[in-house]
Amino acid sequence: MRRKMVAGNWKMHGSLQSNAVLLGGLHAAPATACDVVVCVPFPYLAQAQSCLAGTAIGLGAQDCSIHAEGAYTGEVSVSMLRDFGCSHVIVGHSERRAHHGEADLAVAAKARLALLAGMIPIICVGETLAQRESGATEAVIGMQLDAILHLLGDRLSELVVAYEPVWAIGTGRTASPQQAQDVHAFIRTRAARHHVDAQSMRVLYGGSVKPDNAGELFAQPDIDGGLIGGASLKAADFLAIVAAATADPGTI
């Protein structure tokens, strides 16, 4: 059985003051049968590590360097993330692909470093609106996945893939549960080409997930939880989404 997971991606939001309120609010999270993670900006890792101590909530970062160590000004290595107790790291988010030119091979290499450091990479894939409208969704996602699967095909049960249609991120326009399920099923089929373990690989959905649509999305057979942007910035909304993930008895 795949364990459900809900991860918050704070993106470039927060301050010491507002984080304290948000993280404090997450203490109300019941111990659940679902993995809960918050991925915070680098400067706040220490604060989040200390605020989350004693809870079952995991800590994650939003990116890591492709290098292990060295003269790479501004970069943050996986071992540095481990120093702050990170269990997870997002790699290949569409915002990094679009604004920082991250290519599939670099994303795969980052995911590999994270696994080697004992962390779980949350690897994002997804198509733009133009790609969807031209019927290229599967071709685009297939290519993004193949780079990862070639390198990490034998570690599918450890990594997490997040399907995030670019057109649904921060737009309030969510993929319908059926649209999301179709792509998730495709991702699993594609992974099965590389390894028999595809059934154990978790695939999250991200893109305008809110408390009122989370339940229907998470009830789909191939959706194993969510990667949450805007709604992870309010403790009540994030916890409502966690509750939706644990309410579905199908996959827990």
Here the tokens at position 233 are: 């910035």
Cα angle 103, 109, 113 (rounded to 5 degrees) comes to 145
The answer to whether residue 93 is catalytic is yes
**Do the bridges between strand 5-9 and strand 88-91 make them parallel or antiparallel, or are there none, so unpaired?**
unpaired
Where does this chain touch ligand 13P (CB under 6 A) — which range of 30-38, 134-142, 180-188, 228-236? 228-236
225 binds ligand 13P (CB under 6 A): no
Q: Which of 13, 51, 47, 44 is nearest to 29 (CA)?
A: 51
> Is residue 229 near ligand 13P by the rule CB under 6 A?
yes
CB of 195 to ligand 13P, least distance (A): 25
Q: Binding residue for ligand 13P (CB under 6 A) from 5, 6, 9, 202? A: 9
The β-bridge relationship of strands 35-39 and 5-9 is parallel
Rounded Cα distance between 20 and 150, Å, is: 41
Binding-site string for ligand 13P from residue 184 to residue 213, where x marks contact by CB under 6 A and - marks none: ----------------------xxxx----
Whether 194 is a known active-site residue: answer no
Token duo for residue 188: 């699993």
Q: Pick the catalytic residue: 93, 95, 102, 184?
A: 93
What is the maximal distance between C-alpha atoms in the chain? 49
Contact status: 165 vs ligand 13P (CB under 6 A):
no
Chain contacts with ligand 13P (rule: CB under 6 A): 9, 93, 164, 169-170, 206-209, 227-231
